[in-house]
Chain A
Amino acid sequence: MLSVISSVMRIVEIPMIALQRLLGINRLAWVFLLPNLILFGLFAFLPVILNVVYSMTGSDNVLLSDRPYIGASNFGTLLDCSDFLDPNSCREDKFWRAVWNTIWFVTLQVGIMVGFSLLTAVILNRDIRARGFFRSVFFFPVLLSPVVVALIWKWILQREGVLNAFLDWTGIGGFNWLVDAHWAFAWSVFISVWAHMGFYTLILLAGLQAIPRDVYEAAIMDRAGAWRTFRRITLPLLSPTMLVVLVLALIKGVQTFDEIYAFTGGGPGTATTFIIQYIYEKGFAGAPRLFGLAAAASLLVAGVLVVLTLAQLWANRRSVDG
């Protein structure tokens, strides 16, 4: 297998050398980018552009050619609020409930998850026994499909579930977790951290492995304290990876959907309804299928995400430069 790949690579090298002579080193970058750009163009950018077009059309038809142009009225519907802090005053009250839920959810979830992922990665990066086993343990939930994650935790948290059976046994007494809005929300945060933590731990672990060991040896020579070493050496050297983790965690946090949808369906009431569930129900699961409104909502969310991500990138650049 490997020898096949390396001989393929040797063949690819011939035209690449020719191109390198022709274009020069820096313009060769475009050649490296090209395959990715083609795939991206067709399967990532084009759908997004179509999405923009959808957002400006109405009716419940699927094909764009059957859909009337209605300008910005989908955006108008979504933003029709007399008080943005009070969903009840909005025309699309569910959209705004979902927005506020998502803001709270992401704030809590990203903070908790990145914190625990970093802690776990640092511990797993130590010279401990059975490292591979422990890594697998923390990564395992990532492998489960959202339906199964939701099912497992329903078994545990339902009125007569495992947790309540345990609490009854200890004498504390059970509680109907999923009927209470605040608890259902808290458990949603927990489950989403549980299901995705392994993903970020793995990325951070790879990042920690990339820090050259001699840097630490120098720190020991200088008798730098552990916390100081961590803050002055580990964190800065980890920052490109940390940036990936923060950006991805934020984006995926805002896009949280499957497992919570299968877990609470967004309930009780709308307590755990997040923005993608709103979009999904408007555009796909519900009737009539309002692709236009769903597309408009997704663009509003994407707009906010772009701003947040740019802020993160900018903050990162400043902290690296300064």
Chain B
Amino acid sequence: MADLTSSRRTGILGFLTATRGRERLHWTDWVSYGYLCLGIFLMFGPVVWLVLSSFKDRNELDRFPPRFLPYAQETIEVDGFDEPLLAFRVTEGDLAGELVGQTRRAAGRAEVVVPANPDERIRLTTDQLEPVEGIAFATENYTQLFERFNFLRFFWNSTFITVMATLLMLLVNSMAAFALSKYQFRGRNAVLLLVIGTLMIPQTVVLVPLFLIVTELGMFNSLWGVIIPGAATPTGVFLLRQYMITIPDEILDAARMDKASEWKIFWRIVVPLSAPAIAVLAILAIMWRWNDFLWPLIVLTRTENFTLQLALNSFQGELQTDWPSLLAMTVLTLLPIAAVFMFLQKYIATGIASTGGK
């Protein structure tokens, strides 16, 4: 009896505390997996829908009610016609069930031919015809992108901005967070409050003042005009500072006993111990810069400086939006960052818990 209770306790405890090494699945595991599967459906389902939709042509995208897989009307080759004809199935009348190709159509009437007998033109009303549809992936949504503009150039610009801004941000923010978490100095709280204070003003609002400053500094239409202001994100300092607080001071004091310089303590001890938070911040920084739209839109106006997001949104006109191209482009811009995330997420699991905790 006592054993049972304790094993159950460990089980529930495991549920909440991640104890490793159980032999069989406990009910909490079932609950967890159930929750995660629901998660796949809710969180991932719409993304799958997005990817499939990027293979749909314009008609299929606008269709009510929407369908999961991309369909398109099939065409048939008929002798004597240069172009393939749209395929229909006849629903009623003498030809019921026959597959026909449509040659002409006007005002509720259609002229069709049976493929076996291409010379005889048959007149039917359009409500006797039902389009024949098959699954068709509109890969031209993708190929068009490469024909229409310099995709690689935009990709390079986006990559350069993202990598530079992320490195700069990680370095500068972790230094600041180290100072704000591991030193006692006058003005510390004031700086911290200022950092948090700037979080309060949304970027949308300071866009114009920021634009005027950046122009004044001569960074208009330069990639650095996107990189440098982007590195000053208060979220990063705040996030890292809160994480670094949890690193025990004893570790630092021990290093100081060994005559390590403060820079070495920062670089060799605090940064590695903050790996999970830095990994999180790296993921976020990469994502922010990669997906950034409003700021590059105002700073970069020349095609050769465009990022992927700007190119993507240039499919939006005043009155019309080219959704097939926009969706294909969205999926393409999503792939690299999804790959980066899958790579970086495993570093979140390495940290104090596995390295310096004991």
Chain-B contact segment, one of A83-91, A93-101, A213-221: A213-221
Given known A13-B261, A161-B66, A229-B16, contact A152–B199 (CB-CB < 8 A): no
| Residue among B44, B176, B235, B353 making CB contact with A212, cutoff 8 Å | B353
- Let me know if B342 and A136 touch, CB within 8 A: yes
| Residue among A132, A140, A240, A279 making CB contact with B243, cutoff 8 Å | A240
The total of chain B residues at the interface (CB under 8 A) is 114
Top 9 A-B pairs ranked by shortest CB distance? A212-B357, A226-B12, A50-B209, A36-B176, A32-B179, A29-B183, A47-B206, A16-B263, A160-B64
> Nearest residue in B to A131 (C-beta to C-beta)?
B349
* Residue B84 interfacial (CB < 8 Å): no
| Residue among A50, A142, A214, A298 making CB contact with B212, cutoff 8 Å | A50
> Nearest residue in B to A123 (C-beta to C-beta)?
B32
21 A-B pairs in the complex with CB atoms less than 8 angstroms apart: A13-B264, A20-B263, A35-B172, A37-B176, A48-B201, A50-B213, A62-B208, A120-B39, A127-B21, A132-B346, A152-B50, A155-B49, A165-B66, A203-B280, A206-B243, A210-B243, A213-B353, A213-B358, A227-B16, A251-B200, A276-B202
- Let me know if A144 and B237 touch, CB within 8 A: no
- Let me know if B173 and A209 touch, CB within 8 A: no
> Nearest residue in B to A166 (C-beta to C-beta)?
B65
- Specify which chain B residues have a CB less than 8 angstroms from the CB of A276 in the assembled complex: 202, 204-205
- Specify which chain A residues have a CB less than 8 angstroms from the CB of B213 in the assembled complex: 42-43, 46-47, 50
| Residue among A50, A127, A233 making CB contact with B18, cutoff 8 Å | A127
| Residue among B198, B228, B293 making CB contact with A145, cutoff 8 Å | B293
- Let me know if B239 and A244 touch, CB within 8 A: yes
B→A interface (CB under 8 Å)? 6, 9-10, 12-22, 29, 32-33, 35-36, 39-40, 42-44, 46-47, 49-50, 53, 64-66, 171-173, 175-176, 178-180, 183-185, 188, 191, 194-202, 204-210, 212-214, 217, 228-229, 231-232, 234-235, 237-239, 242-243, 245-246, 261-264, 266-267, 276-277, 279-280, 283-284, 287, 291, 293, 309, 312-313, 323, 327, 330, 334, 337-338, 341-342, 345-346, 348-353, 357-358
> Nearest residue in A to B256 (C-beta to C-beta)?
A25
- Specify which chain A residues have a CB less than 8 angstroms from the CB of B201 in the assembled complex: 47-48, 51, 298-299, 302
- Let me know if B17 and A209 touch, CB within 8 A: no
- Let me know if B243 and A207 touch, CB within 8 A: yes
- Let me know if B267 and A9 touch, CB within 8 A: yes
- Let me know if A13 and B263 touch, CB within 8 A: yes
Give the interface centre of B20, B198, B261, B313 by most chain A CB atoms within 10 Å: B261
A→B interface (CB under 8 Å)? 9, 12-13, 16-17, 20, 25-30, 32-33, 35-37, 39-40, 42-48, 50-51, 54, 62-63, 119-120, 122-123, 125-128, 131-132, 134-145, 147-148, 151-153, 155-156, 160-162, 164-165, 194, 198-199, 202-203, 205-214, 216, 219-220, 223-227, 229-230, 233-234, 237, 240-241, 243-244, 247-248, 251, 255, 257, 276, 279-280, 283-284, 291, 294-295, 298-299, 301-302, 305-306, 309
Given known A136-B345, A152-B50, contact A45–B176 (CB-CB < 8 A): no
- Let me know if A29 and B185 touch, CB within 8 A: yes
- Let me know if A47 and B13 touch, CB within 8 A: no
Output the least CB separation between A3 and chain B (Å). 14
Whole-angstrom CA separation of A91 from B197 in the bound complex = 29
- Let me know if A202 and B50 touch, CB within 8 A: no
- Let me know if B351 and A210 touch, CB within 8 A: yes
| Interface of A, helix, strand, loop or mixed by DSSP | helix
- Let me know if A36 and B232 touch, CB within 8 A: yes
Whole-angstrom CA separation of A127 from B342 in the bound complex = 18
- Specify which chain B residues have a CB less than 8 angstroms from the CB of A199 in the assembled complex: 284
- Let me know if A25 and B205 touch, CB within 8 A: no
- Specify which chain B residues have a CB less than 8 angstroms from the CB of A12 in the assembled complex: 263
- Let me know if B204 and A257 touch, CB within 8 A: yes
- Let me know if B342 and A39 touch, CB within 8 A: no
Whole-angstrom CA separation of A210 from B278 in the bound complex = 12
Whole-angstrom CA separation of A116 from B270 in the bound complex = 31
Output the least CB separation between B299 and chain A (Å). 12
Given known A39-B172, A203-B239, A244-B242, contact A194–B43 (CB-CB < 8 A): yes
- Specify which chain A residues have a CB less than 8 angstroms from the CB of B183 in the assembled complex: 25-26, 28-29, 32
Output the least CB separation between A41 and chain B (Å). 9
Whole-angstrom CA separation of A127 from B314 in the bound complex = 45
- Let me know if B197 and A226 touch, CB within 8 A: no
- Specify which chain A residues have a CB less than 8 angstroms from the CB of B185 in the assembled complex: 26-27, 29-30
| Residue among B15, B232, B246, B309 making CB contact with A210, cutoff 8 Å | B246
Give the interface centre of B17, B173, B188, B199 by most chain A CB atoms within 10 Å: B17
Given known A35-B172, A36-B173, A302-B200, contact A43–B228 (CB-CB < 8 A): yes
- Contacts A127-B19, A143-B338 aside, 15 further interface pairs with beta carbons under 8 A come to A13-B261, A20-B261, A39-B231, A47-B209, A119-B35, A140-B47, A141-B46, A144-B50, A162-B65, A203-B280, A229-B13, A257-B204, A294-B205, A298-B201, A306-B200
| Residue among A33, A160, A291, A301 making CB contact with B179, cutoff 8 Å | A33
Whole-angstrom CA separation of A43 from B35 in the bound complex = 42
- Let me know if B205 and A156 touch, CB within 8 A: no
- Specify which chain A residues have a CB less than 8 angstroms from the CB of B22 in the assembled complex: 127
